[in-house]
Amino acid sequence: MKNIYKVNDNKFKSIYISYNFTFETKKEEVPKNVITSLVLSKGCNKYKTSKEIEEYLSSLYGINFDINMEKIGDLYNIEFRLECVNKEFLPNKEDVLKPAIDFLYEIIYNPKIENNEFDSVIFEREKKLVLDKINKRKDEKLKYAVLKTEELLCNQEPFGTYIYGEVNDAENVKLEDIYIQYANLLEKSFVSIVISGNLNGYDDIEQYIDNVFKNELDKAIFNEELINISHKNIDFTTKIKEVKEKIQTNQAVITIGMRVENLEDNDFYALNVYNSILGGTPSSKLFQNVREKESLAYTARSRYYRFKGVFIIYAGIEEINYEKAKIVILKQIDEMKNGNISESELNSSKESLISDLLEWNDSKISLAKLAYTNAISGKSLTIEELIDNMKKVQLEDVAKVAKKIRIELIYLLGGEDSEK
Amino acid sequence: MKNKIEVIKNETLSETIYKTVLSNGLEVYICIKAGFTKKIGMFGTKYGSINNDFIDISSGKRVDMPDGISHFLEHKLFEKEGDNSLDLFSKEGISANAYTSFDHTVYFFETINKFRKGLEMLIELVKTPYFTVENVKKEQGIIGQEISMYENDPNFNVYFNTLRAMYINHPIRIDIAGTIDSISKIDKDILYTCYNTFYNSNNMFIVVIGDVDVSDTISIIEDKFKLYKKNIKSDKVIKFRVNEPNNILQKKIEKDMGLYMPQISIGYKLLPIEKDEIIKREVISDIISEMYFSKSSKFYEIEYNKGAVSDDIDFIYEGTNDFSHIIISTTSPKPDMIQNDIFNYIDEIKNKEIDANLFKNTKRRKIGENIVESENLNNSYRRIIDSILHESQLYYDIEILNNIAIKDIKDFLNILDYTKAVISIVK
């Protein structure tokens, strides 16, 4: 059935339902989308307030329901997600899955709208909540430093926007925008539904979902290769930017932002291995050198953003050690570029990545995520195929992608305290 | 099989725990999770940051250790001659780590297909300390950065200040990692004293979670232990408890961290209770949190509309046989307002009749949540470790949930005493 994906595994006891709206967005549109989806989740015609919603979900053995927002490269995804127990494990074999699906329909497609306007009280509340989220991101320094690096690195691209958007854009959102944005969301998104977990006793579940959402799914656009949007023309700078930001803190954070030039689909595996060797595990170059050898940090890691071809390295350090940490980190990147990677580094990194992939089998959410990623990229990769491809990665593949990686930014989030 | 194996089955979660005690006193728990690919192995000691005052097992003398030493020891145990164990695990593709809490320290690994190897390496890791003057020095730098990381974390500050306001003498007041100053007093000799005393089999436990073979697992452990037979004396540890008065130290602590959104936490100091009663309090508190403070509560709606809260309000019980308290925490642009509202509200609900329908639905929610959470392997080991430390029955949390009555909720609310309450705010 179009746009409905099912993963069944009887080792689970519960079921995860993920209803996704994936779309292209502009920086300034981000808060509008966030507020719209939050407003939807806090009341509809049938369950008027968030209290009514939660009471209803409690009575169905505590269905978990929330909204998850995610950047998929330059695309944006809003996910309405539910988690409930399979009837076999509940007293009197009470079915809560079908009520959960009906509930989701009410929330998304039967919202509280009067005279083309959403509920203003809910709107004001959610808008304020989003503003709070944007403003308080500075309260956690390590996370903030990474977010800031994303922003500085890709400031002209949607990816460089905080998941809740910017303060100014959020402040400008008006009640009437929500109605327009709601219509946009329904019209211009790629809609996909994933259901995963223990579906024993629910052979007809796809049919059921299709019946409930049929009219809406027929209207939704179907975009097989949405994800390719992410890889379009980026101008690479050759100059490394160095940025320092002052903040009240007693631990500084150094980050390094890097980009992959000419990112190709097949680089995925080698880039993951690259990340793992550089800073993904305790045997990685960053952990071994920045932490174990030089005692400069407790946290020293790298992260790879697969949908964007971006790497961010981050370490919590003492500010006076900034120059030293910079040299040590840059040296590790150089080692990667020069192919100074041992067989044992390669193999243990691959082992660790393969373990991570195998572990997806234990999580209905990871399994759903894989199905979703396949859906938006028009693929049908299995965990086994991912593992096979990961196994094939050789030293020269890692060395090859290492040469495509450009350092673009060195950032220090430093303390006023240490200057006193 | 020469060891007696106890089998504890839980129907609601459809899982089974096998428990045995080896001849050296080591407790072993194996929880079978059929069909799951991941296996977790944990090796722990009933020794944490609050156990600085004890009898040295080798000399028989009472000693007093610097703050943060149990955590320091946890870090140092990963160091081996010429190698770092974390690196060795990592090279096998096995992920390993450890944590130190107030009353226990645990080393663990996670693997998909190298369970035997992982378990053997875990035992070797814990049984072969290698402390030197140089490697102790090096660790002071790394832990120094770890301490700074926590000092920078508003959650951590608001939480520890709540404990510091509530407790007068109890070592729970002290950071698990210690301070830069206290860890500078640590040397290799005292690390060995702590190790020899607390890392003896009588004071330790192994927990395994996953789809493994029970008798194979026990054999692997027994065989590996034979290699380290005569290493250290195995005996019951004598730990001293401080005398902690019932009253609080100070009503309020505030700290400025330049936050956009202030964090507030209210603590109610309670009298410690023991064993199953601890679990019961946890379950009751969980129900109270859901009924009275969650986003579906009337209170939350009112406070939210007043702009007094910006995130969840949590109502959490924490306790061992040795301390006991409730912590209510949230983030708020108006911490003084929410503080007063919470105190008034607690007085109000103490005397108010409980909505039977709400109570019934909350119990249904908790039953559902328990089933969903049982898919997470971490949840199974937390339950086992709690039972080891509190000496409570396994699955008592599931059993008691069905039996909790409205009266239990009322009784518990009524032990919350304003004169034993403290406030911690980080701005």
Task: Measure CB to CB from residue B364 to each of A62, A129, A141 and give the nearest one.
Answer: A62
Task: Measure CB to CB from residue A348 to each of B91, B111, B154 and give the nearest one.
Answer: B91
Query: Model confidence at B138, in pLDDT bands (50, 70, 90)?
Result: confident
Tell whether the model's pLDDT for residue B64 goes beyond 50: yes
Query: Model confidence at A249, in pLDDT bands (50, 70, 90)?
Result: confident
Cα–Cα dist B191/B61, whole Å: 16
Segment among A228-242, B208-222, B280-294 with least mean pLDDT: A228-242
Mean pLDDT of A119-128: 93
What CATH class is the domain A241-419? Answer: alpha beta
- Whether residue A298 and residue B146 make contact (CB cut-off 8 A), yes or no, is yes
Contact list, A54 vs chain B (CB under 8 Å): 294-296
> Domain coordinates of chain A in residue numbers?
4-223, 241-419
- Do the first three CATH levels of A4-223 and A241-419 match, i.e. the same topology? yes
pLDDT in tens, A92-110: 999 999 999 999 999 999 9
Q: What domains sit in chain B, N to C, each tagged with a CATH number?
A: 6-226 (3.30.830.10), 252-426 (3.30.830.10)
pLDDT in tens, B309-337: 988 999 999 999 999 999 999 999 999 99
What ipTM goes with this model? 0.87
- Whether residue B138 and residue A14 make contact (CB cut-off 8 A), yes or no, is no
Tell whether the model's pLDDT for residue A406 goes beyond 50: yes
Q: What is the pLDDT of residue A418?
A: 42
pLDDT in tens, B342-361: 999 999 999 999 999 999 99
- The better pLDDT of the pair A141, B253 is held by B253
CB pairs under 8 A between A and B: 181
The catalytically annotated residue of B11, B15, B27, B74 is B74
Closest among A110, A98, A97, A95 to A47, alpha carbons compared: A110
Tell whether the model's pLDDT for residue A415 goes beyond 80: no
Task: Measure CB to CB from residue B365 to each of A62, A282, A355 and give the nearest one.
Answer: A62
Task: For residue B60, give both structure tokens.
Answer: 């028989």
Contact B69, B105 (CB under 8 A): no
> What percent of chain B lies above the pLDDT cut of 70?
99
Strand partners for B8? B17
Contact list, B371 vs chain A (CB under 8 Å): 13-14, 61, 85, 89-90
Q: What is the pLDDT of residue B230?
A: 65
- Whether residue B261 and residue A354 make contact (CB cut-off 8 A), yes or no, is no
Q: What is the pLDDT of residue A225?
A: 58
Cα–Cα dist A318/A298, whole Å: 11
Task: For residue A255, give both structure tokens.
Answer: 């980050």
In angstroms and rounded to an integer, the radius of gyration of the C-alpha atoms of chain A is 23
Domain A4-223 CATH (choose: 3.30.70.1140, 3.40.1400.10, 3.30.830.10, 3.40.50.2300)? 3.30.830.10
Half-sphere exposure of B61 (CA within 13 A, CB side): 5
- Whether residue A13 and residue B371 make contact (CB cut-off 8 A), yes or no, is yes
A217-220 long-range contacts (CB < 8 A, ≥24 apart) are A217/A2, A217/A3, A217/A4, A217/A191, A217/A193, A219/A186, A219/A187, A220/A3, A220/A186, A220/A189, A220/A190, A220/A191
Cα–Cα dist A372/A18, whole Å: 9
> What percent of chain B lies above the pLDDT cut of 90?
85
> What percent of chain A lies above the pLDDT cut of 70?
94
Average pLDDT along chain A: 91
Cα angle vertex A132, ends A126, A133, to 5°? 90
Tell whether the model's pLDDT for residue A419 goes beyond 50: no
pLDDT in tens, B162-200: 999 999 999 999 999 999 999 999 999 999 999 999 999
Mean pLDDT of B286-308: 92
Annotated catalytic residue B74: yes
Query: Model confidence at B49, in pLDDT bands (50, 70, 90)?
Result: very high
Angle of the B133-151 helix axis to the B69-77 helix axis, nearest 10: 120
pLDDT in tens, A5-64: 999 999 999 999 999 999 988 989 999 999 999 999 999 999 998 889 999 999 999 999
Contact list, B366 vs chain A (CB under 8 Å): 62
β-pairing verdict for B204-210 and B27-32: parallel
